[in-house]
Amino acid sequence: MTDYICMIILIVSFGGNCLDTHCQGYLCCLDLCDITKDNPTAPLNEKFEQCCICASQKTWSGKEKELLIEYIGVSGKSLVVDPEKFNDSNVYKIEHIGGIMTEIPSDVCSWDSDTVLEVFLRQVYEFMKYWLHIVQIDFSFNKIRKVESLNCLRKLYQLDLSHNKITHLKNTTINQLAHLRHLDLSFNEIMSMDPACISQPTQNLFYADFENNKLPVVDVTNSFSVNPFCHINYTSNIIDKFVNEQGFTLDANKTYGPGFVSFNFNNFRTFPDFQSLLGLSNLAELGQLVSFGFDFRGIQLDCDCYLEPFLSMVQELKSFLWRDYFNVACANPPSLQGVKVPNLDPYDLVCTLERDADCPQECTCIDRPSTNTLFVNCTNLKTLPEFLPNSTLSRSISLKLSNNDIQILSNKPYLYKVTFLDLSNNLLEQVNDDAIAVLENATLHISNNVRLTQLPQRVQHRNLCITYMEGLHLTCGCQELWIENWLKVKKCDDEKLFKCTIPDLGIKEAREFSSSLLDCKQNLPIFLVPFISSVLATLTICGTVTFLLRYEILILFLRVRQKKVDNTADRFQYDVAITFDEEDEKLRGWILKVLLPNLEDNRYRVFLPSRDIPFGSRRDNVLMKTFAKTRSFLVVLSEKCLAQHEHQRDRSWSENEWKCAWTSFKYCKMKTLVIINYDHLAPSDVSIKQIAAFLRVGHTVEFGNYDAQIMDDIYNKLDPAPNQMDAKASYIV
Ligand SMILES: *[C@@H]1O[C@H](CO)[C@@H](O)[C@H](O)[C@H]1NC(C)=O
Ligand SMILES: *[C@@H]1O[C@H](CO)[C@@H](O)[C@H](O)[C@H]1NC(C)=O
Ligand SMILES: *[C@@H]1O[C@H](CO)[C@@H](O)[C@H](O)[C@H]1NC(C)=O
Ligand SMILES: *[C@@H]1O[C@H](CO)[C@@H](O)[C@H](O)[C@H]1NC(C)=O
Ligand SMILES: *[C@@H]1O[C@H](CO)[C@@H](O)[C@H](O)[C@H]1NC(C)=O
Ligand SMILES: *[C@@H]1O[C@H](CO)[C@@H](O)[C@H](O)[C@H]1NC(C)=O
Ligand SMILES: *[C@@H]1O[C@H](CO)[C@@H](O)[C@H](O)[C@H]1NC(C)=O
């Protein structure tokens, strides 16, 4: 278990020629060096370092002149001195290992304002000319506690402050050192670091070593560099989380890295949520932008939902790339303990959300990002939960509420995310229309709710294959005639239907319910003739009522009047005008492939505005003139054309075609108007009052599964084609 060899590679676009085309003079990678293929057993970070020469040439290598340290007090204060004479063609290094320095020497970058220094002013001043010639400092194994700015040492290449007692690192200490490549701060007592200590644009560090410190958190701006780098080492700290104090965001126009960052042996337990940390819209963005690897060897990884996006993102590359580098085992949860990450099934990566994440006390909430779903399971509820957790990883909610005592299904703020709702075996009495609306596409179980007798009419838009209603006894009366049509239109092979309680007839299977069993709508028009006259008589008395029902009455009246008209069709240029929303592709398809050929085969002279209005003429004018000379109107009602009306975006359909047709129908008693309810709209869905009235009085053709049946319906409502009559007549003669 101690022998993890693991590297969690976020980025996979690593191989190939690395950076050789734009090495900016800092870091060049060998041509043809394919890290992912050559030498598959070597750890990836080693290969990267072999491949990529971290090579700003040290032309002075070996020729550095050594400077010495001279203590100037018992407290560990010191100065740098030169045993020889200054020569400005020299480069210098200062090495003082295992001493008792407590501070950086006072003459380095004049950081020290202590009055003790007054005695040494000349010496301090003299030393200034060395600043730009110092390339290497090694103060390891001293007792240095703090470091102020070293930015005067513009040529510094290597800085070793390891094994000291530094507790804090400022982002103003080395931020101007464009030539600094090696920074070693390992084995200090660093507990905090400013953001942007190593990643400012002026910095070009190759190696930054922070291993064996006491860092509890690391800022994202300290975990990689904007410039290419070799290795940043955070091994053996106590880091358990990333922060992003300055709201750092990735610039889509830049590339970051490449380079490796080691977080081995820290306290991470969960995989960092880079997506919310960096405000990414999706995790793949990180992959596109950043090409460095995080090494998480030796961490006690919790294999939970936060790991899932990473695992899934690189799933297809896992087999060849991660065989060696992603060989970390899970420490938690117990069920996955010891499972190697490459062998994980993303499905098993879940988080159990607690009350602090809004999971109600009565529920268990399990987030399973591989299915993009938060699974919620509750007991002992009398109402729907008011809130459910917001998952950042999953979009949908599966809500299992069976065997509770819930009485009302009403809309809740989370309901729009629910794709599965089980309310079977509850005490439902009421199902609200708005809840049914948002659950339109969700699977809904409401079986065995013995008190439920009514559903809102909106359920008629629901697919029966995803609506489970066994054991319900719904009232099927004259108010519920829509049920018959619903079951016909939304039929499903494996349906779980309710039973119908039919007035005077008792309980029947839902499918046996038919309007013919009842004495309501069927006789309406005839039955209504005397009724209408009485209504007209009372018109003056109940003005408001009639006003509200004016279109219904008018339609019934027009239909009755209709029957008295002779078939004097010859004066019409067209028998039928079809009007519909031409933007609706599906609808257009049906009209062009089914309706139109069928009508024309039956010798109707059809006027289809989109086809028959000559290109370039004024559509409205032609429309009005032609409608005047058209016998019948087929209005195909679809959601889209109504939406158009409601948004007032394009008023052409409702303003022109419909009004034209309606006016024409209303004022000419020879005309017929038939509405085909293509999208099974309810009267309440329709804002055009006359159409709503048509729907209400049932003078419409409901769109169904069988074209033949629709056509029959249409022919029943249309007048016969005059030519057809002629044809018949001549036949007889
Ligand atoms: C400085 O060093 C260079 C080469 O290291 C040498 O040629 C030159 O003479 C030296 N100058 C002085 C003033 O010592
Ligand atoms: C350096 O750190 C300080 C806080 O410690 C922060 O306010 C400042 O923005 C940082 N500088 C840069 C360049 O990020
Ligand atoms: C990072 O630190 C670890 C722990 O000491 C060490 O084994 C490893 O070699 C270091 N990596 C680099 C590239 O210096
Ligand atoms: C990225 O580059 C494009 C075109 O050069 C520019 O319009 C855009 O502002 C840049 N985006 C950022 C975040 O700099
Ligand atoms: C839901 O919770 C109950 C009680 O905690 C449990 O018996 C049942 O198995 C759970 N169902 C699912 C699907 O998790
Ligand atoms: C979840 O999201 C909703 C709407 O976006 C918000 O009102 C609610 O406060 C959020 N809850 C939590 C716990 O974040
Ligand atoms: C249901 O699905 C359809 C088609 O995908 C979509 O247009 C509609 O908005 C969905 N309804 C809801 C309530 O999400």
Q: Is pLDDT above 70 for 258?
A: no
Q: Is pLDDT above 50 for 11?
A: no
Protein residue with least CA distance to atom 4, ligand 6 = 413
pLDDT at 627: 81
Protein residue with least CA distance to atom 2, ligand 2 = 194
pLDDT band at 342 (very low <50, low <70, confident <90, very high): confident
Report the pLDDT averaged over residues 260-270.
Answer: 82
Low-confidence winner among 53-67, 106-120, 210-224, 613-627 (lowest mean pLDDT): 53-67
Q: Kindly give, in sequence order, each residue whose CB lies less than 8 Å from that of residue 714, ignoring residues fewer than 6 positions away.
A: 595, 634, 674, 676, 701
> Angle at the Cα of 258 (from 252 to 263), degrees rounded to 5?
105
Q: What is the Cα–Cα distance from 18 to 36, expressed in whole angstroms?
A: 11
* Mean pLDDT of the residues in the chain: 79
Low-confidence winner among 317-326, 625-634, 684-693 (lowest mean pLDDT): 317-326
Report the pLDDT averaged over residues 483-506.
Answer: 88
Phi and psi, residue 544, nearest 5°: -65, -45
Confirm or reject: Cβ of 568 under 6 Å from ligand 7.
Answer: no
pLDDT at 2: 28
Report the pLDDT averaged over residues 394-414.
Answer: 95
Which of 17 and 476 is assigned the larger pLDDT? Answer: 476
Confirm or reject: Cβ of 441 under 6 Å from ligand 7.
Answer: yes
pLDDT band at 621 (very low <50, low <70, confident <90, very high): confident
Ligand 3 lining (C-beta closer than 6 Å)? 209, 211, 231, 233, 235-236, 262
Distance from residue 289's CA to the centre of ligand 1 (Å):
49
Report the pLDDT averaged over residues 611-615.
Answer: 79
pLDDT band at 212 (very low <50, low <70, confident <90, very high): very high
Which of 368 and 594 is assigned the larger pLDDT? Answer: 368
> 351-516 maps to which CATH number?
3.80.10.10
Which of 1 and 574 is assigned the larger pLDDT? Answer: 574
pLDDT band at 58 (very low <50, low <70, confident <90, very high): low
Report the pLDDT averaged over residues 236-249.
Answer: 91
Low-confidence winner among 302-316, 503-517, 520-534, 595-609 (lowest mean pLDDT): 520-534
Report the pLDDT averaged over residues 617-631.
Answer: 79
Distance from residue 72's CA to the centre of ligand 6 (Å):
63
pLDDT band at 48 (very low <50, low <70, confident <90, very high): low
pLDDT at 59: 63
Q: Which ligand is nearest to the CA of 88?
A: 1
Report the pLDDT averaged over residues 12-24.
Answer: 32
Q: What is the Cα–Cα distance from 602 to 724, expressed in whole angstroms?
A: 7
Confirm or reject: Cβ of 376 under 6 Å from ligand 2.
Answer: no
Question: What is the percent of the chain with per-residue pLDDT over 70, rounded to a whole number?
Answer: 75
Q: Which of 30, 583, 6 is nearest to 327 (CA)?
A: 6
pLDDT at 276: 80
Confirm or reject: Cβ of 191 under 6 Å from ligand 7.
Answer: no
Distance from residue 584's CA to the centre of ligand 7 (Å):
16
Distance from residue 17's CA to the centre of ligand 2 (Å):
35
Q: Which ligand is nearest to the CA of 413?
A: 6
Highest mean pLDDT among 127-136, 484-493, 627-636: 127-136
Distance from residue 253's CA to the centre of ligand 4 (Å):
6
Superfamily of domain 562-717: Toll/interleukin-1 receptor homology (TIR) domain (3.40.50.10140)
pLDDT band at 565 (very low <50, low <70, confident <90, very high): very low
Protein residue with least CA distance to atom 13, ligand 3 = 231
End-to-end CA distance of the chain: 101
SS3 assignment, position 353: strand
**Nearest-atom index, ligand 1, CA of 87:** 1
pLDDT digits (tens, 9 = 90+) for 73-91: 888 899 999 999 999 889 9
Q: What is the Cα–Cα distance from 208 to 162, expressed in whole angstroms?
A: 11
pLDDT at 357: 86
pLDDT at 26: 35
Indicate the top mutation candidate among 387, 388, 416 to test ligand 6's pocket, ranked by most ligand atoms within 8 A of CB: 387
pLDDT digits (tens, 9 = 90+) for 635-680: 887 776 566 555 544 455 656 677 777 777 777 767 778 888 877 7
Question: Computed from CA positions of residues 614, 616, 619, 624, in that sequence, does the dihedral angle turn out positive or negative?
Answer: negative
Confirm or reject: Cβ of 40 under 6 Å from ligand 2.
Answer: no
pLDDT at 631: 82
Q: Which ligand is nearest to the CA of 398?
A: 5
Confirm or reject: Cβ of 466 under 6 Å from ligand 7.
Answer: no
Which of 597 and 721 is assigned the larger pLDDT? Answer: 597
Read off the amino acid at residue 162: S
Report the pLDDT averaged over residues 110-138.
Answer: 89
Residue 58: alpha-carbon gap to chain centroid? 50
pLDDT at 86: 92
Identify the residue whose tokens are 């991470």: 268
Confirm or reject: Cβ of 253 under 6 Å from ligand 4.
Answer: yes
Q: Which ligand is nearest to the CA of 171?
A: 2
Burial (0-12, 13-18, 19+ Cβ within 10 Å), 478: exposed
Low-confidence winner among 160-164, 194-198, 203-207, 272-276 (lowest mean pLDDT): 272-276
Indicate the top mutation candidate among 64, 89, 92 to test ligand 1's pocket, ranked by most ligand atoms within 8 A of CB: 89
pLDDT at 14: 31
**Nearest-atom index, ligand 1, CA of 85:** 14
pLDDT band at 29 (very low <50, low <70, confident <90, very high): very low
Distance from residue 29's CA to the centre of ligand 3 (Å):
21
Which of 365 and 33 is assigned the larger pLDDT? Answer: 365
Report the pLDDT averaged over residues 571-581.
Answer: 82
Which of 302 and 60 is assigned the larger pLDDT? Answer: 302
Confirm or reject: Cβ of 730 under 6 Å from ligand 1.
Answer: no
pLDDT band at 19 (very low <50, low <70, confident <90, very high): very low
**Nearest-atom index, ligand 6, CA of 389:** 13
Distance from residue 179's CA to the centre of ligand 4 (Å):
29
Q: Which helix (H) or strand (E) holds 45?
A: helix 44-51
Q: What is the Cα–Cα distance from 307 to 368, expressed in whole angstroms?
A: 11
Protein residue with least CA distance to atom 14, ligand 1 = 87
